[in-house]
Structure 1
Amino acid sequence: MGNELDTRLAGLIDRQAIADCLARFCRGMDRFDRDAYLSAFHADAEIAAGPFVGSAADCWDWAMPLHDQAQSLTHHVLLQSSIDVDGDTAHGETYYQFIGRNRDDSVIMAGGRYIDRFERRDGAWRIALRVNVIEWSVMPPAVAIPFADVPDIAANGVSARGREDPSYQRPLVNRRARQRPDAAL
């Protein structure tokens, strides 16, 4: 029983390391954090995404100016993943949705799948090959950001592409006074 449990536990640890790798990719993209983004890929990784085919570093150099010019914010949202681990290699299929608020206040949404080959090298799981399969896109009408008119809404920081984003704050603290609005939503 111990051997089977150890094997299952090792598999769960591998899958969590791969999930963390996928999350670093998204965080890096959305926060414009090149180091976080590149930490998801091996140095010799290859990516095929839309018209781009090349290295992870070259993909960053190609994609980030496009996102910076076109969108004021982006969300790369990961959905379900199927991950098959076989020793130091794993293959994954992760559904995603991309949401961007364009600079003209319109919104773009797209979805598809990241199909990845992960490799564990020197104990670290990272992407060795990524194929981005884009399956749909839409531009729904934009609406105002809710609660933008609350006087102290930005006291804890505002969404930013970089280390000034509140998610980098350590330790995280609340700078807003406690309040409970009377009106129900």
Structure 2
Amino acid sequence: MTTSLNTDRNARLETLLDRQDILDTLTRFSRGMDRFDRALFLSAFHTDATIAAGDFVGGPADLYDWASAMHANGQYATHHNLLNLTVDIDGDTAHTELYYLFVGRNRDDSNWIAGGRYIDRLERRADEWRIALRTNAIEWSGMVPTMPLPFADVADIHLNGTPSRDTDDPSYRRPLTNNREPNIPG
């Protein structure tokens, strides 16, 4: 009985590790796009992957060039938020459905929001999960009224780093440190 329980537990642990590797892969896509980090973005895809997103159908390098130009010209900031994830693993192939919420602060200071699902086939090659095929199912979109950014008037708000769409963003800092003075608003 103990051997059976250990085998089952080991199989479950392997599945959990695969699921985490798959989630990390999907997250690299989003972070790579939002930070304009080409290497990170491309690390989510096999080089021979096919992606169908909007009117784009092609490979990962061309997708990055097309999407980053579209976002750079259209928005000051983008957030590709990842939500519900289902994963169906069969050996070295996995099929996923990942709900997303996209938000962009447009250059005309409007805010665009859209939701949908990334439907992917991932393959494990050389012991690494990456996207082999992606379909982007956009299901809704709209505009959100613009409001002033909160705390814009705080003098030292950017001492820990200014949000940016590149590797100068504070999220890349190692180690992350605090450069602001203690302050508890009254």
Alignment TM-score, normalising by the size of structure 2: 0.97
The percent identity for this pair of structures is 59
Amino acid paired to 2:27: A
What is the CA-CA distance between 1:158 and the residue it aligns to? Answer: 1.0
Letter of the 1:168 partner, please give it.
Y
Gaps of 5+ in 2: none
Deviation (angstroms), 1:104: 1.1
Residue 100 of structure 2 corresponds to 96
SS in 2 for 1:63: helix
The residue identity in structure 1 corresponding to 2:28 is R
For residues 27-47 of structure 1, the C-alpha deviation after alignment (integer angstroms, 9 at most, x for no partner) is 100000000000000010000
Matched, 1:37 2:41: yes
* Aligned counterpart in structure 2 of residue 78 of structure 1, from 79, 82, 94: 82
Cα deviation, residue 48, structure 1 = 0.2
Q: After TM superposition, give the deviation of residue 20 of structure 1 in Å.
A: 0.3
1:135 corresponds to: 139
Deviation at 1:59, TM superposition (A): 0.7
Q: CA deviation at 1:90?
A: 0.3
Match of 1:114 among 106, 111, 118: 118
Deviations 1:62-103 (A, max 9, x none): 111110000000000000100001100000000001000001
* 1:112-131 alpha-carbon deviations (Å, 9 max, x no partner): 00000010000100000000
In structure 1, runs of 5+ residues without a counterpart are none
Q: Report the TM-score, using the length of structure 1 for normalisation.
A: 0.97
Aligned residue number for residue 18 of structure 1? 22
In structure 2, how many angstroms separate the alpha carbons of the residues matched to 1:153 and 1:29? 25
Matched residue pairs, number?
182
Q: Which 4+ runs in 1 deviate beyond 2 A?
A: none
Q: 2:150 aligned with 1:146, yes or no?
A: yes
